[in-house]
Structure 1
Amino acid sequence: MDPIVLVHGGSGYIPASRVPLKIAGCKKAVLEGYKVFEKGGSSLDAVEAAVRVMEDDPAFNAGYGSVLNIDGEIEMDASIMTGNNLRAGAVTIVKDVAHPISLARLVMEKTKHVLLGGEGCKKFAIKHGVQILPPGALVTEQAKQVLEYYKEFGGDFTEIGSNNKKGEVGTVGAVAIDSNGLLSVATSTGGISGKLPGRCSDTSQIGAGSYADNCNGVVSTTGHGEAIAQFCLAHAIIKAIESGKTAQKATTDCIETLTKHFNKTAGAITLSKSGDVGIHFSSKSMAWAYRLKHELHYGVERDQHEIEKLQN
């Protein structure tokens, strides 16, 4: 089987000035994830590597670049999962950690739990040698501006017909299949600008933000977190594949159903167990990219699908 790494950089409204940054960041993440395969690594290693790239990139709402809660602080969520044994790890309300996705993997591999949050998660991180950054180290000027706009005007970036054009919501995620057929997913986010302190997003909830099942497929989602959590979007897409739908059909149908029911937008990236790709979003934009063999595929607007040939 030919390995694939597929990433998204979050759905929502993306200002024109930031579109090139999103595309470049997604391309970089895909190529970094694919390097893992070239070195003999697994799909789990690949999705973690890809998401770490986006957590370091201020163009994305994850890690450095995360949006701020109403008190002006960053609280991040992440989840990771493998499809062969349904093992998963997640973290929520994480502060001052550069790579929440790697912390989620530690939860999966070093504990009997699926989800850790808050102060307990911080103690766990310190115990396992994760660096705790100085308060505010992950805050960007963009995040400050978006919060100030939210405080003055409010608004919901994910509501159909919204006129709020100041900033974008989003999440980053990666799904992959390796040459052994192992499916893995990693998803990470800073959440929603202006959220209440202590809010846990869909990204930290297995079945909502992430799901992997070698019998069917793998999914990472983005968009309105509460709607995604209520709909269990990632798991819904997997069940649709199980019912016989293609990865693309399952992804499209589930997102459109969620959007119709909640009047909120969402997006997702999907791979089936055979490596078929599914990409769909009901928001205006969602940056995405994937590598298959010597081709790099990417897009950001609806119906956009660019293909770049890579050197051998």
Structure 2
Amino acid sequence: MKPVMVVHGGAWAIPDAFAEASVAGVKAAARAGNAVLKIGGSALDAVEAAVRIMEDDPVFDAGHGAVLNTDGEVELDAIIMEGKTLAAGAVSSVRNIANPVSLARAVMEKTPHVMLTDRGANQFAESIGISMLPTDALVTEEERREWEHCKKYVVGVKELFNSQWGHDTVGAVALDSMGNVACATSTGGIRNKMVGRVGDSPIIGSGGYADNKSGAVSCTGHGESILKVTLARLILFHMDQGRTASEAAEHSLQYMGERVQGGGGVIVVSPTGDWTATFTTERMAWAAVDEDVLSYGLNPKDKFTETVN
């Protein structure tokens, strides 16, 4: 089976000041995931590696660089899922974990549960030796300034999502040489969210889904809208009905826009290697590696390519 790696860095109104860094970040993540696949690694290992790159990159809203809630705190959500057995792990509202995607994988592999939240997730992380960071270690100076601005002018989350003040999720999907698919999604949510708010990202079938019989999806965008239509599972449903990855993604995003007036983006890969990166927001940073060709884009209809060394 021909391996495929696709990543996204969030669907929102990405300002020009972040454009170059966002594209560079997703390209680096796609290369990291592809490097895993190229040596015969699993799709699960590949999506974790790719998402960790973006969690460590402060240009994205996941891990280091996450946005702040109404109390000025980081609350992180993540999911990881593999398509062979439908094993999945997720965490929500964790505050001082650098790489929530790896904690989500530990939940999947080392507990009988699928999701752990808040204090319980941190207790589990400590029990398996994942180091805790100081409370403000993940907060950038720029994010602190933006949060103060939004607090001062009482900017709401919906206004933020539809402006250049918003940030969003990162994610990855992969198909490995054994024909297995996997997905991973990680986020800091949206600035000024209520304390304890959980969006679509860690929810199976909404922020992500992976099934060898259908494909793998990672979603990004307005979390409440994605939750209402269970976007990831909706896309795979349409693929099960015979639509291509691109057709299923476009149809499902259009439905979400019409039904609940929500914008977003998705990356999808099928069990045969058919893939897409599609969005209805102003921009979405994405990159994919397919047969040693790195494709990437930011604006609608963008598709630039270069050879993977």
The C-alpha deviation readout for 1:216-270, integer Å capped at 9, x for no partner, is 1100000000110111000000101001100000001101110122222111000
Check conservation: 2:173, 2:269, Cα contact below 8 A.
yes
Give the Å deviation of 1:149. 3.1
- Name the structure 2 match of 1:289: 287
TM-score by length of 2: 0.97
- Name the structure 1 match of 2:63: 63
Give the whole-Å Cα distance in 1 for the aligned partners of 2:257 and 2:13: 15
- Name the structure 2 match of 1:175: 173
- Name the structure 2 match of 1:80: 80
Check conservation: 2:226, 2:262, Cα contact below 8 A.
no
Identical-residue share of aligned pairs (%): 45
- Name the structure 2 match of 1:206: 204
- Name the structure 2 match of 1:141: 141
Task: Give the superposed CA RMSD.
Answer: 1.2
Check conservation: 1:65, 1:140, Cα contact below 8 A.
yes
- Name the structure 2 match of 1:191: 189
Give the whole-Å Cα distance in 2 for the aligned partners of 1:149 and 1:302: 30
3-state SS, counterpart of residue 23 of structure 2: helix
Farther-moved stretch of structure 1 (32-41 vs 184-193):
32-41
The C-alpha deviation readout for 1:259-308, integer Å capped at 9, x for no partner, is 12222211100011111012211100000001112210000000011011
Farther-moved stretch of structure 1 (256-265 vs 231-240):
256-265
Check conservation: 1:147, 1:193, Cα contact below 8 A.
yes
- Name the structure 2 match of 1:274: 272
TM-score by length of 1: 0.96
Give the whole-Å Cα distance in 1 for the aligned partners of 2:144 and 2:60: 14
What is the letter of the counterpart of residue 96 of structure 1? N
Give the whole-Å Cα distance in 2 for the aligned partners of 1:16 and 1:105: 34
- Which residue of the other structure, out of 299, 305, 308, is the alignment partner of 1:307? 305
Task: Map 1:112-131 onto structure 2 (within 5 A).
Answer: 112-131=112-131
1:24 corresponds to 2:42 = no
What is the letter of the counterpart of residue 84 of structure 1? K
Give the whole-Å Cα distance in 1 for the aligned partners of 2:193 and 2:186: 16
How many pairs are equivalent?
307
Give the whole-Å Cα distance in 2 for the aligned partners of 1:310 and 1:27: 10
- Which residue of the other structure, out of 252, 255, 261, is the alignment partner of 2:250? 252
- Name the structure 1 match of 2:48: 48
Give the whole-Å Cα distance in 2 for the aligned partners of 1:309 and 1:212: 28
Give the whole-Å Cα distance in 2 for the aligned partners of 1:230 and 1:171: 17
- Name the structure 2 match of 1:33: 33
3-state SS, counterpart of residue 301 of structure 1: coil
- Name the structure 2 match of 1:264: 262
Check conservation: 2:69, 2:75, Cα contact below 8 A.
yes
What is the letter of the counterpart of residue 74 of structure 2? I
The C-alpha deviation readout for 1:119-143, integer Å capped at 9, x for no partner, is 1111100001100001100001222
Give the Å deviation of 1:158. 7.0
1:89 corresponds to 2:89 = yes
Farther-moved stretch of structure 1 (29-38 vs 45-54):
29-38
Farther-moved stretch of structure 1 (170-179 vs 145-154):
145-154
Check conservation: 2:40, 2:176, Cα contact below 8 A.
no
Task: Map 1:99-114 onto structure 2 (within 5 A).
Answer: 99-114=99-114
The C-alpha deviation readout for 1:135-193, integer Å capped at 9, x for no partner, is 1000012222332232215142576xx4x33x232100000000111000010000010
What is the letter of the counterpart of residue 81 of structure 2? M
3-state SS, counterpart of residue 70 of structure 1: coil
1:4 corresponds to 2:4 = yes
3-state SS, counterpart of residue 204 of structure 1: coil
Give the Å deviation of 1:310. 2.7
Give the whole-Å Cα distance in 1 for the aligned partners of 2:288 and 2:234: 22
What is the letter of the counterpart of residue 117 of structure 1? T
Check conservation: 2:5, 2:289, Cα contact below 8 A.
yes
What is the letter of the counterpart of residue 201 of structure 1? G
Check conservation: 1:46, 1:176, Cα contact below 8 A.
yes
- Name the structure 1 match of 2:155: 154
Give the whole-Å Cα distance in 1 for the aligned partners of 2:308 and 2:232: 31
Give the whole-Å Cα distance in 1 for the aligned partners of 2:65 and 2:224: 21
- Where structure 1 has 5 or more consecutive residues not aligned to the other structure, the ranges are none
